[in-house]
Amino acid sequence: MIMLLASNPKSLASPHSSIFGWLIYGFAVRSGNRMNRRQALFSLAAMGATALFKSASLLNFNDSKALLRFAVIGDWGTGDRTEGELAKTMFETHQRDPFEFILTVGDNIYPDGKPEHFVKKFEKPFEALLRAQVPFYATLGNHDVEGGRQAQVAYPLFHMNGESYYQLSKANGLIEAFMIDSTAFNERQRSWLEAALKSSTAKWKVACFHHPLYSSGKKHGSQDDLRKLLEPLLMNYGVKVVFSGHDHFYERLKVKNDIQYFVTGAGGSLRRGGLNQHSGLTAASYDQDNHFMVIEMNETEISFRAINRIGDIVDKGLLQKTPAAVVGAMAGF
């Protein structure tokens, strides 16, 4: 049984967000924009007996129990000023709260992934983090494979070890990240993924790939064909968190099939106004600036923060493993 508590700072969250909460497939979700009394009463009535509200204090992750902290970034390798400023904010965040590594969800190098862009669009902007020996673990996006597939999988600083898909185990089995190549998800990769997921004994299974199974993006949106191939494996083998990019904004999706999906696709390239606010998919969103994510976890909790280019937190929340009896008791409040 999993419980998710989440909150949007009211000054930064999408104006279309609202307070909501429910239990679906073992998840309870709470988002925290302010609403008036009439709206609150209407929402409470609509949610019924299974709704779960908790005070803001419950959104605080127990830092003393954190076993691992890492960052996630996507659609980032532009080489422009905003990428450099985001990289600076990431390093400043790392100095305060060190993260062990960084996962990428593709489009690492614009416009075509070629190695002649590596220095300008990765090594220089992220020089401080590289000097601090924070490793990047990459997946490939559509721009990367236009001319740079082989160069990127062989690039030592992306730690792909010559493969476009691989698994990454950290913190003595606390987490296993399945780094998937969604640009070429064929039968060979599907067979590898199923075997890897089936054999994994990690406390938390996380997937990273470029093309989102769910997205409210006006330009790309949900990748339905990929979802038919990939989502059954994620569901059947206990993946609880998925990070993707491709659409150039931040979106936390409403929980789907016991999985929390994120679109984190504005590390360098931003598409303001690119969200369809009427998709019905969105739990929280932000498309006003570039962003990255910071994830903290222990054996029972995952905390997430989405942080923009100037260091403001634009979304945050807590994912917890909670006994079913406890969730049932909470839901009665």
- Strands in the chain per DSSP E: 2-7, 20-24, 27-31, 68-73, 101-104, 136-137, 166-170, 175-179, 204-208, 239-244, 250-253, 260-264, 282-286, 291-297, 301-308, 313-321
pLDDT of residue 321: 75
Contact 52, 23 (CB under 8 A): yes
Residue 302: partners with Cβ closer than 8 Å, 6 or more residues away = 204, 240, 241, 295, 296, 318, 319, 320
Residue 6 maps to a domain: no
The model's confidence at residue 65, banded by pLDDT at 50, 70 and 90, is low
Higher pLDDT, 194 or 270: 194
The DSSP result for 211-249, as a single string, is S-SS--BSSS---HHHHHHHHHHHHHTTEEEEEE-SSSS
pTM score: 0.81
Q: Does pLDDT of 27 surpass 60?
A: no
pLDDT of residue 275: 79
Query: What CA–CA distance (Å, rounded) separates 140 from 158?
Result: 10
Q: Does pLDDT of 45 surpass 50?
A: no
pLDDT of residue 20: 28
Q: Does pLDDT of 280 surpass 50?
A: yes
Domain count, the chain: 1
Residue 120 maps to a domain: yes
**What's the average model confidence in pLDDT over 77-97?**
95
**What's the average model confidence in pLDDT over 30-43?**
35
**What's the average model confidence in pLDDT over 213-225?**
87
Q: How far is CA 52 from CA 116, 240, 295, in A?
A: 52, 20, 24
Contact 12, 314 (CB under 8 A): yes
Q: Does pLDDT of 63 surpass 60?
A: no
| Dihedral of alpha carbons 94, 62, 294, 311, sign | negative
Give strand pairing partners of 2: 321
Residue 41 maps to a domain: no
Residue 16 maps to a domain: no
Higher pLDDT, 149 or 267: 149
Query: What CA–CA distance (Å, rounded) separates 50 from 28?
Result: 9
The model's confidence at residue 220, banded by pLDDT at 50, 70 and 90, is confident
Higher pLDDT, 326 or 60: 60
Residue 328 maps to a domain: no
Q: Does pLDDT of 326 surpass 60?
A: no
Average pLDDT over the chain, rounded to whole? 81
SS3 304: strand
pLDDT of residue 3: 67
pLDDT of residue 12: 42
Q: What are phi and psi of 159, to 5 degrees?
A: 55, 40
pLDDT for 116-137, tens place per residue?
A: 999 999 999 999 999 999 999 9
Burial class (CB in 10 A: 0-12, 13-18, 19+), 194: middle
Question: Beta strand pairing status for 175-179 and 204-208?
Answer: parallel
Least confidently predicted of 47-56, 112-121, 195-204, 276-285? 47-56
Q: What are phi and psi of 131, to 5 degrees?
A: -65, -30
* Nearest C-alpha neighbor of 73 from the set 44, 102, 110: 102
Distance of alpha carbon 316 from the chain centroid: 11
pLDDT of residue 242: 98
pLDDT for 223-266, tens place per residue?
A: 899 999 999 999 999 999 999 999 899 999 999 888 999 999 99
Residue 255 maps to a domain: yes
Range of the domain at 256: 63-315
SS3 70: strand
Residue 30 maps to a domain: no
Say how many Å lie between the first and final Cα of the chain, rounded: 18
DSSP state of 254: P
Whichever domain contains 154, its CATH number is 3.60.21.10
Higher pLDDT, 223 or 273: 223
Query: What CA–CA distance (Å, rounded) separates 85 from 254?
Result: 30
Query: What CA–CA distance (Å, rounded) separates 235 from 211?
Result: 17
Residue 331 maps to a domain: no
Query: In the structure encoding, which two tokens stand for residue 79, read together?
Result: 């080489």
Higher pLDDT, 295 or 258: 295
Q: Does pLDDT of 1 surpass 70?
A: no
Q: Does pLDDT of 331 surpass 60?
A: no
pLDDT of residue 55: 27
**Residues counted in the chain:** 333
The answer to whether the bond into 111 is cis (omega within 30° of 0) is: yes
pLDDT of residue 152: 97
